[in-house]
Structures are given as structure tokens and as C-alpha cells.
Amino acid sequence: MDELRPPFSTWALGEPKEQHDFTSHLPAAHRTKEDHIITPQAGASFLGDELLVKRINRVQDSLWMCGRPMPPRPLHHQVVISREIIVTENPELHLLWSNQRIFLKPIPAWLLDPMFWTSHILPDAELARCARGFLFSYTALIAYESDFNLARAKSLIPSSLKWEGWKCVAKEVLQSHDMALVNPRYWYGELRLGRLNAVYRLKGFVFRGYTTVGGAQAYSDFIVDNFAVLATLLGYVVLVLSSLQVGLGVDKLLESAAFVDFSYGFTVFSIIAPLIAGAGIFLFVLAMFVSNWLVTRKYEEKRFKEMGVEPYWRNQPGKTTSILITKRNTLGSDSQSRV
């Protein structure tokens, strides 16, 4: 397989015009990592946000705990096993699943344009590896025409793409496919989001894990979920205590010093353990709240500075003042509009 050639040559979206305009393939707006909203340009920054999977690559050695090194199963199979298809534009969530949901990033129109590959993707080796892997994942997801119809219904493919065109693209991609030229993330298919979160927490991201998507979105939800687990464990403790109470009524067991000692110890444990566990949950939530509060305040200060505005209501309380806008030199030299 030639690394410097696109994985396909079929014009699945139609023959290009004399003046090939890539902007028609791009979204209306793009959010940068700094949370600026800009007009997208087919540059390294935009394509990196659309294709790179650096966060998953950081835990590549642990992906065996999250899924198998096999291609994802077709869309129709996802429906058969009662998974809801959730559309996301984040490549870091592509093919992750949790709670009967699987997250899929749609195929961008520019990824089905051979000229775009040649001019914007192939010059960057890492982008090319991610793009090849992403496109390969869709050859597995859209195997049958029923999968193609599901993809169209969920807006996973460009509206102008036809089944015959996709078959030609998939055939060329599979004929020239080489796993050595694919980002290692795509050596694996579907990954369990819950296990990926656990891996990230073990790596030190205790509060947020890999992502908060699919998890508790409010502190109250987090408390309810954890107390539900605690209540389940307490149910088992109650069963054991009931059995011990019955055992203490049997003369033979009552004469056993080991059984009496165990009953005493487990009774004390059943009183203290729930209190410790409950306090631990509340302390964890408190620590999470303080951490999020500090990060939010720091981000707000940084964000206001980047926006070129000041929170005038804090500097002059009780007074009606116009917003002070400071134009930064760096923004003055930037041709892209930011919000």
C-alpha cells in the first residue's frame, strides 16, 4: 500500500468541478480547543480536531481491558443488540458504547474526496493514519445496504452519497488496507466507555475519568447512583446478620467461640461500615465540587482575558457601567473571527 496515495480514487460524491472548492465540504462553524467559534479552514488545527485520537492513544496499552482488537460490528447488528446510535462529531467518542448506546462520528464529506486527501491529509502522517483508520471502521459498520440505509437515516453519511458509490469506495479501501498504516486506536473496534473511564481514573484523572458523557451529569445523580450500590450491599449484610441471629439460637453454634467472635465482629462492622461508606461518598462529592469550582473560576478568568472583556459588575458593584472591551494585539492580527 502506498502511503502517499489516497486509499480510494472513486469520486463517490460526484465528479469535481474545474475550480474545486473544499469549503463546501466543511461545517458552518468550528469550536477550537480554546472554545473560540471560528469559520473552519481546512488546516492542521481543524483536521486535528476532526480526526486525531490522542486521548485514547495515551492509554493504548490498556485498551485490551476496554474491547477486542477486531473491527466494529455492522450497524444492523448494533440495532439487533438494542443499542441506540448516538451521533457525535468528536472522534475521541467514535465507537465507544455505554448503557445500550453507541457513539458514532459521521463521515465528513471531505473524507470522501480523493483530492482533499492528496492536498490536506496525506502530507501529515498522523492525520493520514487516523483518517485511514476512521474510514476503515466504516467499511465494517456499513457492510450491507440495510446498514447504508440506517447510516443515511442517522445522518452518518453525506446526503449525496449513493449505495453504489459507497460500495466502490469500500472495495478500494479494503483492497489497499494495511493495519500497519492505521492509528493503533483503530486496531480495536468498539470500546466500553465505562472501562475506559476506569482506566483514566487509575491514571490519575479521578474525578472526570475519560469523559463525563454517559455518566452522572449532576451531583445529585452521582449521589443517588452510589447510594443505590450501597443499598444493594446493605441488603446482603442484612441477610448475613439474619443468618447469624438464627445461628446464635442453635446451641452447637453458640458453644463455638469462633462463631460467636465472628458474629460480634460482623455486627460491629455492619454498624460502622455504612457510616464510613456514606461519609466517603459525601467527601468525594465535596472534593469533586471544590475541584470543579476552582477549575471553573480559573477558566472564567482565562476566557474573559482571551475574549478581551472584563467583568465590570465585580469591580464596581451597584453601578451601571458599560462593558470594558480591550482589544488585544494578538486578536488584531488574527484574520479569523472568534466569539
Gap between the Cα atoms of 211 and 218, Å rounded: 14
Q: CA gyration radius for the chain?
A: 27
- Separation CA 138–CA 245 (nearest Å): 60
- Position 264 in a domain: yes
Rounded CA gap, 339 and 337, in Å?
7
What are the beta bridge partners of residue 37?
Answer: 31
Closest CA to 66 of 74, 76, 75, 56: 56
Instruction: Please tell me whether residues 170 and 232 are part of one structural domain.
Output: no
User: Can you give the pTM of this predicted structure?
Assistant: 0.75
In a domain, 122, yes or no: yes
Per DSSP, the residues of 179-240 read GGGS-GGGGS--EEHHHHHHHHHHTT-TTT-S-STTS-SSHHHHHHHHHHHHHHHHHHHHHH
Nearest by Cα to 201 from 212, 214, 191, 190? 212
Residue 183 sits in the same domain as residue 245 = no
Q: Which three cell numbers stand for residue 167?
A: 460500495
109, 90 contact by CB (below 8 A): no
Q: In 3-state terms, what secondary structure has residue 72?
A: coil
Pairing state between β 84-87 and 96-98: unpaired
pLDDT tens-place string over residues 228-263: 777 888 888 888 888 888 888 887 777 788 888 888
Instruction: With CA atoms as reference, report the closest residue to 270 among 300, 240, 250, 295.
Output: 240
Angle 161-92-334 (CA atoms, 0-180°, nearest 5)? 85
Query: How many Å apart are CA 25 and CA 59, to the nearest integer?
Result: 32
Q: Is residue 232 part of a domain?
A: yes
Residue 339 has pLDDT above 70, yes or no: no
179 and 37 within one domain = yes
Cα–Cα nearest to 95, from 73, 77, 112, 111: 73
Residues 229 and 134 in one domain: no
Mean pLDDT computed over 275-284: 84
Inside any domain, residue 89: yes
Number of domains in the chain: 2
For residue 285, the one-letter residue type is V
113 and 75 housed in the same domain: yes
Interval 117-126 mean pLDDT: 93
Q: Give the end of a domain, one of 202, 230, 255.
A: 202
Report DSSP letters for 128-155, one per residue: HHHHHHHHHHHHHHS-SHHHHHHHHHTT
Q: Please state the φ and ψ torsions of residue 332, each to the nearest 5 degrees.
A: -65, -25
Angle at 49 between CA 45 and CA 55, to 5 degrees: 120
Task: Please give the Cα distance from 68 to 58 (Å, whole number).
Answer: 17
Q: How far apart are CA 110 and CA 117, in angstroms?
A: 8
> Hey, what's the cell of 136?
476503515
Q: What is the mean pLDDT of the chain?
A: 85
pLDDT bin (cut points 50, 70, 90) of residue 217 is low
Q: pLDDT confidence of 156, banded at 50, 70, 90? A: very high
Q: How many CB atoms lie within 10 A of CB 127?
A: 20
The answer to whether 115 and 20 are in contact (CB under 8 A) is yes
Are 37 and 178 within one domain? yes
For 233, the domain range is 219-306
Same domain, residue pair 252 and 106 = no
The grid coordinates listed for 53 are 485520537
92 and 145 part of one domain: yes
Say if residue 136 is in the same domain as residue 176. Answer: yes
Report yes or no on 105 lying in a domain.
yes
| Domain match, 179 and 224 both | no
150 with 241, same domain? no
Q: Residues 47-99: pLDDT tens digits?
A: 999 999 999 999 999 999 999 999 999 999 999 999 999 999 999 999 999 98
